Amino acid sequence: MSLTRVNDDLAFASSIIDRVDSVTLRHFQTEDFSAQTKEGLSPATGVGREAERIIKAMLGRSRSRDAIYGEEHGGILLRSARRWIIDPIDGTKNFVRGVPVWGTLLALEEEGEIVVGIVSAPSLGRRWWAAKGVGAFTGKSWVGARRLLVSEVSDLAEASMSYSSLKGWADRGQLRAFLRLAQRVWRSRAYGDFWSFMLVAEGAVDLACEPELELFDMAALVPIVTEAGGSFTSLHGEPGPWGGCALATNGALHPEVLEILGSIRDEDAVGEGAPSLSASAARSQSGHN
C-alpha cells in the first residue's frame, strides 16, 4: 500500500461525498417524511438508496475492479483485495424526525484492513476523514482542516462517555455492566450514532460504545479514531469493525473499559452478553496510549 494511492483514494472518496451531500441535504431540508408510510420500509429508504446508487455509479466508473458493500443494496460480504463499504444515511431515525445528526459513511478496505474513512454530516456542516499513515482531520473542506487528536484523560472518574440507547444493552444481556461503567465515569451522554465516535476522535469525549452494529456502521469510523491516536475494538477486544459491536476510546482507558464491560452478565436480560476478557488480554488490545 503506497501513501500516494491512499491519498488518491481519499481525495476520490471526498469527491463522492460532495455529490451525495448535495442530494441528501436537499431531501432533508425539503421533504415531509411524516407523510411517507410505505409498509416495511424506513421513511429514509428512498433517499438512502438514491445516495448509494450515486456512490456505486461513481465507484463503478473510476474503481471498477474494487468490490462494493452497502447497506441499502447489499453486496457480497467477502473480504476481497479492495472493497468499498457504504452507509448512505447513518442515523435514519434522526433524519426523518428533522434532527440534524445524520451522515454518510464511506470506507475503503484493503487486504482486510480499513485504510480510508470519511464521515460527512452536511446538516451540521461537518466532515471527518482519515487514511492510514496520513492522520485524521475535520473541517468543512480540505482547506483549513484541523488535525484530530484524542484526549489524554487516563482516569475513568474524569472521563466523558457517549452511547446511543439503553435498550440494546439490555437485549444483549449487558445492561448491568453498562450501568456499572456509566457510574464510573464523570459524565455520560447519548450523542449517538457516528457522532459519538467522532467526538472521541476530536478529544471532546473519551469513550464511546455500542452493543450491536453492522460493518457499514463502523468501517469508516475506525481509521478516523485510530489515526487520531485512539483505539477501536469490539466490546470483547477484537480490533477493527469485525465484531458486531464497538468500543472506541482514547487508548489509555481501553483496557479498564473492556474489563468492566466483560465482567458482569445481566441474568435477567435476554442474550448471552459479550465474553469476559482478562486484564492481560485487555491490555494487549489497548492500541495507542
Return binding residues for Mg(2+): 71, 87, 89-90, 217
Grid cell 496510549 in the structure block, residue: 289
d(CA 224, CA 132) in angstroms, rounded, equals 9
Count of residues in the chain:
289
d(CA 216, CA 241) in angstroms, rounded, equals 9
Query: SS3 for 7?
Result: helix
Q: How far is CA 66 from the centre of its chain?
A: 22
Strands 82-90 and 67-70: parallel
Q: Are 73 and 52 in contact (CB under 8 A)?
A: yes
Assigned C-alpha cell, 230 = 485512539
Strand partners, 189: 162
Environment class of residue 153 by beta-carbon count within 10 Å: exposed (0-12), middle (13-18) or buried (19+)?
buried
Helix (H) or strand (E) run with residue 132 in it: none
The 3-state DSSP composition of the chain as helix, strand, coil percent (nearest 5) reads 40, 20, 40
Closest CA to 161 of 193, 209, 118, 195: 209
Binding residues: 71, 87, 89-90, 217
Contacts of 160 (CB under 8 A, 6+ apart): 153, 185, 186, 187, 188, 189, 204, 205, 206, 207
Quote the DSSP letter at residue 157.
G
d(CA 202, CA 225) in angstroms, rounded, equals 9
